[in-house]
Amino acid sequence: MNPVFCAVDTATLYNAKELVDSLTGEVGGFKLGLELFMAHGAAGYRTVAASGAPVFLDVKLHDIPNTVAGAVSSLLPLQPSFVTVHASGGKAMMRAAVDSAAKGGASRPKILAVTVLTSLDSADLEAVGQGRDTKEQVVRLARLARESGADGCVCSPEEIRPIREALGNDFILMVPGIRPSWAASNDQKRTMTPREALDAGATYLVIGRPITKAPQPVEAARRIAEELA
Ligand code: C5P
């Protein structure tokens, strides 16, 4: 299977539909985040899901366990393949998300935990009272996520190896911050190429602008798939 989830980062249904229509069959799935989901909710989701490809619904849930369980339950009819929760919401919260997802049966969404946002550095962690080396904190939260029954986590390329070393191979790693050698880095720092990230142990790759802002998005998606083949 093509491990690339293309990020649909737009608040406009028309743009989302155009992008998804053009890339269906060229990528492994689509990632939709808060931008589109806040603007259009289930209609935004369905626009992306109409492709028939797996959908990664990146809503980063973080609330008391009962509320997160309810939120996951409300998402079940949409049948997303993956839903995110914040690992820092704690074990009971992640467990509640996992238990709620299980009620989706065979089509249940897999629960992925967001560890430390890549926008935060050690000083930022210190400021919110988590004064610890960022990588240590990421591994700690990934371990907590697994103990809570989560299926995997979202992590940056440079965190793939430390998490694999700590937790082994039976854990999904969904990895953004991917840049083919021929693409602009934009605002992403510490990137890896698609090939490097897979070799390091990534399960899936989230790739946005190198595909969506390319002069020929379909060509860009094909070039990435060829590099991974
Ligand atoms: O365009 P680009 O490839 O940078 O898009 C990456 C996608 O992954 C965006 O939707 C971005 O919000 C998301 N993401 C990220 N870094 C994280 C978590 C999510 O870039 N740590």
Atom of ligand 1 nearest to the CA of 156: 21
What burial class does residue 122 get, using C-beta atoms within 10 Å of its C-beta: 0-12 exposed, 13-18 middle, 19+ buried? middle
- In single-letter form, the type of residue at position 215 comes to P
Atom of ligand 1 nearest to the CA of 179: 3
Q: What is the pLDDT of residue 40?
A: 98
Residue with tokens 């060829």: 226
The residue whose C-alpha atom lies closest to atom 16 belonging to ligand 1 is 176
Q: What is the pLDDT of residue 78?
A: 98
The whole-angstrom separation of Cα 221 and Cα 19 is: 12
Cβ atoms < 10 Å from Cβ of 212 = 19
| Ligand 1 binding residues, C-beta < 6 A | 7, 9, 33, 117-118, 154, 156, 176-177, 186, 188, 206-210
CB 29 within 8 A of CB 81: yes
Q: How far is the CA of 206 from the centre of ligand 1 (A)?
A: 7
The residue whose C-alpha atom lies closest to atom 10 belonging to ligand 1 is 7
- 171: domain CATH number is 3.20.20.70
Q: For the chain, what is the domain count?
A: 1
Predicted TM-score (pTM) of this structure: 0.96
Q: Is 31 an active-site residue? A: no
Print the domain residue range for 90. 4-228
Atom of ligand 1 nearest to the CA of 210: 3
- CB crowding 173-189: b at 16 or more within 10 Å, else e: bbbbbbbbeebeeeebe
Which one from 17, 31, 60, 135 is the annotated catalytic residue? Answer: 60
Ligand 1 probe mutation, 153, 206, 212, most atoms within 8 A of CB = 206
Q: What is the pLDDT of residue 127?
A: 92
The whole-angstrom separation of Cα 97 and Cα 85 is: 8
Q: What is the pLDDT of residue 189?
A: 83
Q: What is the pLDDT of residue 122?
A: 86
The residue whose C-alpha atom lies closest to atom 15 belonging to ligand 1 is 176
Tell me how far CA of residue 46 lies from CA of 24, 35, 57, 173, 186, in angstroms.
Answer: 14, 15, 11, 25, 29
Q: Which residues are CB-contacts of 226 (< 8 A; sequence separation ≥ 6)?
A: none
Give the tokens for residue 22: 């053009």
Q: What is the pLDDT of residue 131?
A: 78
One pLDDT digit (tens) per residue for the chain, 229 residues: 999 999 999 999 999 999 999 999 999 999 999 999 999 999 999 999 999 999 999 999 999 999 999 999 999 999 999 999 999 999 999 999 999 999 999 999 999 999 998 888 888 889 998 877 889 999 999 999 999 999 999 999 999 999 999 999 999 999 999 999 999 999 888 899 999 999 999 999 999 999 999 999 999 999 999 999 9
CA-based max dimension of the chain = 46
Give the tokens for residue 84: 């995110």
